């Protein structure tokens, strides 16, 4: 397969996700032929002048973004109309036009990066919505991106599926390359690392494999937990880790669990993963979920009411991907009905996805019920105030958050005013001890818990 064909096929994969089925099939999938690539200009043949005008006016930037996604460099797109006698416009003719094409400055990324990286251009620090659940991880990522290998090395980010770990990885890599395009940055999943390692063994290309990773300035590996239990891969990564750290190069890893909780991970890797900074990303609270939906709607130019956005944010608590997926479904409904959606219609259409009776307990819900019970505001309970009438309900909220949710101690601390996890432990232990001797408190906790479960 020629380079121009491979480049266009990769771009089509990106475009298929960004365009409606009709537009993709009608104007892209079979109507465009890649002609030539020269001097950062990609010539694409289209069937007629009408297609050319449409594509140049509405889709040229999107195509250039697709090409940049796979090459990590700016590539100018030029649409060329097939000749009137239906003869295919030749590659030589296309190249002849390059001299007349106005040059456009581009960032010359290191070849090392263009060969190995496929960034998602949407995953930047600007597009990342910061909330109590991810503030620490975001700040640490930005610090590492600003000064690789100067702070927090390795940086280890853990959390559940679809909470933003991969977004931060791509944001870090792209931020580093914008500041210094000569940096050798490698970003991949642990599965890719494993597959390349096995290929290297099979093809006897171990030296090239090791050079690729051990000569990097920044190595980012997503879902590192998947190398656990694979002894040869763990051994290879152990030596890669040591080589990079010994050369003062930056390492960034993500996982679904902190190092100490990853099963079948070698102790020597567990200890090395814990050498730098470990930070978690937990489930977003209501306000963060709503902010994510609003930002996504604005980015995609979706016209959707606050009432519907609130409904989605209230009922999808698991992860960001589900949030955005549900918003996409709502907008598909909007196109189908071709009229503004009402909340009742959305509820009816999404009843199989949003099951209120099976809704999980959240820290938002716990806080609301506790605040109502003790007649204080949410702002009070999240504040730094330490008066007894505020501090005691806060400790009860922390206790119930640990008992009734899967949230980690740092996540609970972040939610309740950015407190340290040791504060959460203290509050939890205090309520737990008092429950052993205080019958009144026990009854209060029972009433609050019942109200929480009935309010799901």
What is the mean pLDDT, run by run of 10 residues, along the chain of 456 residues? 81 82 83 86 88 82 82 84 50 44 37 51 89 90 94 91 91 92 90 90 90 93 93 94 94 93 92 93 86 86 86 79 82 76 82 60 91 91 88 94 86 88 88 89 88 76
- Contact (Cβ atoms closer than 8 angstroms) between residue 291 and residue 129: yes
**Radius of gyration of the CA atoms of the chain, in A:** 26
| Domain that residue 386 falls in | 363-455
Nearest to 390, CA basis, from 375, 380, 401, 378: 380
- Does 375 share its domain with 346? no
pTM as predicted: 0.56
- Does 354 share its domain with 394? no
CA dist list (Å): 246 to 193, 218, 232, 239, 337: 20, 13, 21, 10, 60
pLDDT of 318 reads: 66
Domain boundary among 23, 56, 81: 81
Dmax (CA) for the chain in angstroms is 94
Helix (H) or strand (E) holding 425: helix 421-435
Tell me, what CATH number does 413's domain have? 1.10.1750.10
Tell me, what CATH number does 146's domain have? 3.40.50.300
- Does 313 share its domain with 174? no
pLDDT of 97 reads: 45
- Does 147 share its domain with 206? yes
3-state helix, strand, coil in the chain (%, to 5): 60, 10, 30
- Does 173 share its domain with 256? yes
> Is residue 240 situated within a structural domain?
yes
Helix (H) or strand (E) holding 395: helix 388-404
Domain boundary among 280, 311, 340: 280
Asked if residue 160 belongs to a known ligand binding site, the reply is no
Tell me, what CATH number does 21's domain have? 3.30.300.180
Number of other residues whose CB lies within 10 A of the CB of residue 306: 11
Asked if residue 159 belongs to a known ligand binding site, the reply is no
Nearest to 14, CA basis, from 122, 107, 176: 122
- Does 337 share its domain with 369? no
- Does 196 share its domain with 259? yes
- Does 131 share its domain with 251? yes
> Is residue 102 situated within a structural domain?
no
Beta bridge partners of 33: 45
Bin 448: left if φ > 0, else alpha if -120 < ψ < 50, else beta: alpha
Pairing of strands 33-38, 218-222: unpaired
Asked if residue 166 belongs to a known ligand binding site, the reply is yes
pLDDT of 198 reads: 92
Domain boundary among 280, 295, 316: 280
- Does 306 share its domain with 334? yes
- The structural domain count of the chain equals 4
Asked if residue 342 belongs to a known ligand binding site, the reply is no
């Amino acid at each position: 397969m020629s380079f121009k064909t491979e480049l266009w096929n990769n771009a089509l994969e990106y475009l298929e996700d960004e365009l409606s089925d009709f537009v993709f099939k009608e104007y892209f999938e079979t109507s465009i032929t890649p002609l030539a690539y020269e001097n950062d200009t990609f010539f694409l043949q289209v069937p007629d002048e009408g297609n050319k005008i449409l594509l140049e006016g509405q889709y040229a930037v999107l195509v250039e973004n697709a090409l940049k996604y796979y090459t990590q460099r700016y590539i100018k797109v030029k649409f060329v109309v097939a000749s009137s006698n239906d003869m295919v416009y030749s590659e030589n003719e296309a190249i002849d036009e390059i001299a007349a094409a106005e040059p456009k400055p581009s960032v010359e990324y290191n070849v090392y990066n263009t060969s190995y990286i496929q960034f998602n251009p949407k995953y930047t620090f600007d597009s990342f919505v910061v909330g109590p659940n991810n503030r620490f991880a975001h700040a640490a990522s930005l610090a590492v991106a600003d000064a690789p290998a100067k702070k927090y090395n390795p940086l280890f980010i853990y959390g559940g599926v679809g909470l933003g770990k991969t977004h931060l990885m791509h944001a870090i890599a792209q931020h580093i390359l914008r500041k210094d395009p000569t940096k050798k940055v490698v970003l991949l999943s642990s599965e890719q690392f494993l597959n390349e390692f096995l290929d290297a063994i099979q093809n006897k290309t171990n030296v090239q494999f090791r050079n690729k990773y051990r000569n990097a300035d920044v190595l980012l590996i997503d879902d590192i937990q998947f190398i656990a239990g694979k002894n040869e891969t763990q051994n290879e990564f152990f030596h890669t880790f040591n080589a990079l750290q010994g050369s003062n190069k930056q390492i960034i890893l993500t996982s679904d669990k902190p190092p100490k909780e990853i099963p079948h991970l070698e102790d020597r890797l567990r200890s090395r993963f814990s050498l730098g900074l470990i930070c978690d990303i937990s489930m977003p609270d209501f306000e963060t979920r709503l902010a994510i939906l609003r930002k996504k709607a604005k980015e995609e130019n979706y016209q959707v009411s606050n009432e519907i956005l609130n409904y989605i944010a209230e009922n999808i608590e698991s992860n960001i991907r589900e949030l955005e997926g549900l918003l996409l479904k709502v907008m598909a409904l909007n196109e189908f009905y071709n009229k503004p959606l009402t909340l009742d219609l959305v509820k009816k259409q999404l009843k199989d996805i949003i099951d209120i009776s099976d809704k999980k307990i959240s820290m938002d819900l716990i806080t609301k019920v506790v605040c109502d019970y003790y007649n204080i505001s949410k702002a009070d309970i999240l504040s730094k105030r330490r008066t007894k009438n505020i501090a005691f309900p806060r400790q009860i909220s922390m206790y119930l958050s640990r008992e009734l949710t899967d949230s980690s101690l740092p996540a609970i601390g972040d939610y309740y005013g950015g407190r340290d996890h040791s504060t959460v432990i203290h509050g939890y232990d205090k309520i737990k001890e008092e429950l052993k001797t205080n019958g009144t408190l026990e009854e209060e906790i029972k009433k609050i818990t019942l109200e929480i479960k009935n309010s799901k």
